[in-house]
Chains A and B, each alone.
Chain A
Amino acid sequence: MDNTVVSTGTEGKTWGGGNKPLKSSYGKMMMWFFIVSDALTFSGFLAAYGFSRFKFLDSWPIADEVFTHVPFFHGNYPMIYVAFMTFVLIMSSVTMVLAVDAGHEMKKAKVTFYMFLTIIGGLIFVGSQAWEWATFIKGDYGAIQTKGGNILQFVDTDGKRVALRDFAVIDEHKERVQDERKSGLWFTSEGTLPTYTVSEVLNGLEANENVLVRTQLINEEGEKTVLSRVESLRQIKDNGKIVVEGANLHVNEYGTPLFADFFFFITGFHGFHVFSGVVINIIIFFNVILGTYERRKNYEMVEKVGLYWHFVDLVWVFVFTFFYLV
C-alpha cells in the first residue's frame, strides 16, 4: 500500500483523456457549438420574418421610408444612422480581435485598453438601438387604420408624406376623454388616446384639396399606391376606424403590425445579446485588470468572449441586410 494513486494504464493512449483532436480547447469548442445553436435561433427568427414578408409581399412596409431619422438632425436621411450603428459594431469587433491578439502576446496593458474600447463600442450600439426603438415607437406622420386592419397614410399631390398634425382640423368641442380609473368606474381604464379622432382627420382631409391617401399596396414601380381624391375621401369616410400614431405590438403606422412585431422581437433579441455581451466583456475586463489571466499564463478567456462578441456582430450584419436593405 505504498501508492494510493491507482494507475489506469491508459496514460498516453488515445482514450486516456487530455487529447485535443481538433487542436482547440474544450471551452473554445463549446463556445463554437453554442454559437452554432444561437445562429440557428436567429436564422429561425429571420426566416420567420421572410415568411411573413413573402406572405404579404405586395403590402410590406418599405424600410427606407420607416427608418429615416438621425439624432440631432431634421429631415429625411434613410440608412445613414443604421450604417453608423453597423460601423460602430464592426469597429468594436476590431478592437476585440486586437485585444485577443494582444492576449496572445501576453501584453496586459494593451488587452485592458482594447477591452475598454470594445465595451464603449458596445454601449454606443445599445444606446443607438434604444434611440432607434424610441423613434419607431413615437412615430412621425400618423395614419388611419381601416376596419380590415390596413393602414392608410397621407401624401400631398407630389407624393410627399403629410403628417396628421399638418392638416387635421381640431374639434374644439371634443367630448371624448381618456377613460381612467379615477374618472369613471374604478375597474375600467384605457390606454392613451391618439391626438386626433378619425372625424378630425376626415374634416382636415375635406378641407385640404391637395392631400391624398396612400395605401399599403405596392404598385409595379415598387412604390405605394396613391388613391385619387374622390377615392381618398371615400376610404377614410367608409373604412377609417382608428387613428394610429407610432408603433407598438398591436398597431403600426408604417404598415402591417407584423412588421413592428418582428422589428421589436428580432432587434430586441439582438440588442439583448449585445447587452449581455457588454456585461460579460466588463467582467473579463476587470479580470484582466486584476491580473487573473496573467497568473493563469494565458488569455484564452478573452478569446472565448471575443468569439461571442464577433458572433453578435455577425448576426447584426444579417439583421441589417434583411431589415434595412432588402
Chain B
Amino acid sequence: MADHAHKLEILRGLIKFKSNTQKIWGVLILLTIVTGVEVALGIYKPEALLAPFLGMKILNWIFIALTIVKAYYITWDFMHMRDETKSLRRMVVWTAVFLICYLIFILLLEGGYVFDVYKDGYIKRDF
C-alpha cells in the first residue's frame, strides 16, 4: 500500500510532522501527558475542582473530557481514522457516539431516579 498517504498534522495543523513515524511518537507524547495529568489530578484532587457542576464534581467532568481527547487521538492517529474517507468515518463514529450517548442518558437518568426513591421514598433498606 505504497499509495497510502498519511495526513501528518495534529491539533488542527498546530503541530506538523515530517513523517508518519514521527507523528506516532508525537501522539504518544501527547497521550502520555494527558494520562499524567489525569493521574496527578486523581492523586492530589485539588480542592477547587471538587465543587459540583451539572450534577457532578468539576474534576469528574475534566476526567471525562480528557478521556475523550485520548480516545480521539487513538482513533484518529493510531487507527488511521484521519486517513479514511469522510463517509466511513461518519458511519463508524456517528453511529457509535449517538447510540452510546442515548444509552448513557437513559441508564443514568433511571439510576438517579432509583436513588431518589431509596432516599426519599418509603423504602427502608438500612438496618
Residues of A within 8 A of B (CB): 21-24, 29, 32-33, 35-36, 39-40, 43-44, 47-48, 50-58, 64, 78-80, 83, 86-87, 90-91, 93-94, 96-98, 100-101, 104-106, 146-148, 150, 222, 239, 298-300, 303, 306-307, 310-311, 313-314, 317-318, 320-321, 324-326
Contact = CB atoms under 8 A, between A and B. Distances in A.
A43 B104 contact: yes
Contacts of A318: 67, 71
Nearest to A53: B111
A50 B92 CA distance: 24
Nearest to B43: A79
Contacts of A298: 1
A50 B104 CA distance: 8
B67 A32 contact: no
| Pairs of residues from A and B, 7 with the lowest C-beta to C-beta distance, nearest first | A54-B111, A51-B111, A51-B107, A22-B88, A321-B67, A83-B39, A43-B100
Contacts, number: 147
Interface residues of B, number: 53
Interface of B: 1-2, 4, 20-21, 24-25, 28, 31-32, 35, 38-39, 42-43, 50, 60, 63-64, 66-67, 70-71, 74-75, 77-80, 84-85, 87-88, 91-92, 95-96, 99-100, 103-104, 107-108, 110-112, 114-115, 118-119, 125-127
Contact of A35 (B92, B99, B126): B92
B79 to A, nearest CB: 5
Contacts of A39: 96, 100
A277 B107 CA distance: 30
